[in-house]
Structure 1
Amino acid sequence: MITEHEAAVDALLRKPFPETAYGRRAAFGGADHHVVRLSASPEFWEDRSEDVVGPAREAIEGEHDLLAQALSARWGPAESVSLLPPAHDDAVTEFFGNWTGEMLAWSCPEFGRWVGLAVVQADPELPFELFVAVSNGPHPPGDAAPRAEGQPTGAAGP
């Protein structure tokens, strides 16, 4: 599955940005970004117990972590980007910021783009979803200075 996710990232890095916005929540983009859902858990309308939700969350987080390891092997350590307000500088951080407080991001200078990765859940009865985003620019917006994963907000990366 991770190979499929990596292939999706590669395709998005090479895909031209459209002149006008396209798509809906599972796959959308605009003049400077693409966002795609890579994976989703079942919904939790019938049972929101930890016995049901916990394994689903762990499975999606496991996919996230494996893909993050693969991307870090290619582009170095991820930057941990805070999505807490007022960090919503663009469509990608606004989308992720609606559902989670943080995303991992990698600069991909050979493409002049950056890649963002996050697990989101819109509401407790809705699925956990693994999303990847590709956006224009040398690094993700939001923080004044990028920081390595695990460093506190406001600390400069190495």
Structure 2
Amino acid sequence: MDIAKALAVIDRLCSGAFPAEHVRTDVGTAGPGYSIAELETSDDFWEDDGTRREEAEEQYECDRDGLGERLTERWGAPQALSLYSVLDRTVEGEDLLEPWASLSGHVPDVQLWRSTETGRWIALGVSQWNRELPFQLLAVVTDTDPP
């Protein structure tokens, strides 16, 4: 992963406007009050005995932590936020705000900072929709407070 490029994407999202509707962007997806950047995407694991998947998961967590160290230099130590309870609440029918509601379906936890310059929340997480599907390192920038 290119940390300098990932930081540039996060900086751009922190200073940019959010769209009025849900859209696909040049780096991921966005909607009212949030942007999600897909910083890195692995191969899929359809033909894997589990070894490649475990190695990829470890690598993506290391990449998240390495990028997180740079964000910690800017904004201090992150909060650890589990999204399991958010997923439970959405499954039970509670209407939670984006991006937290949809993230909870494929990102178990995030590292979370608050920008001192913009007041926006910045989150890093590792996504995987299903065991056979790719991992993604996601950066989330939002005005919406975490649930």
Partner of 2:119: 112
> Aligned partner of 1:113: which letter?
R
What is the CA–CA distance in structure 2 between the aligned matches of 1:123 and 1:19, rounded to whole Å? 30
SS of the residue corresponding to residue 116 of structure 1 reads strand
Q: Map 1:131-142 to 2 at 5 A.
A: 131-136=138-143, 140-142=145-147
Partner of 1:130: 137
Partner of 2:38: 37
Partner of 2:68: 68
Q: How many residues align?
A: 138
Confirm or deny that 1:15 pairs with 2:22. Answer: no
Question: Over the residues paired in the alignment, what is the CA RMSD in angstroms?
Answer: 1.7
Partner of 2:78: 78
Confirm or deny that 1:92 pairs with 2:99. Answer: yes
What is the CA–CA distance in structure 2 between the aligned matches of 1:83 and 1:124, rounded to whole Å? 18
TM-score (norm 2): 0.86
TM-score (norm 1): 0.80
Q: Which has the higher contact order (CA 8 A, sep 6+)?
A: 2
What is the CA–CA distance in structure 2 between the aligned matches of 1:128 and 1:21, rounded to whole Å? 22
Confirm or deny that 1:56 pairs with 2:56. Answer: yes
TM-superposed CA distance for 1:133, in Å, is 0.6
What is the CA–CA distance in structure 2 between the aligned matches of 1:12 and 1:85, rounded to whole Å? 27
Give yes or no for contact 1:83–1:103 (8 Å, CA) kept in 2. Answer: yes
> Aligned partner of 2:37: which letter?
V
SS of the residue corresponding to residue 80 of structure 1 reads strand
SS of the residue corresponding to residue 91 of structure 1 reads coil
What is the CA–CA distance in structure 1 between the aligned matches of 2:69 and 2:102, rounded to whole Å? 23
Give yes or no for contact 1:44–1:126 (8 Å, CA) kept in 2. Answer: yes
TM-superposed CA distance for 1:64, in Å, is 0.5
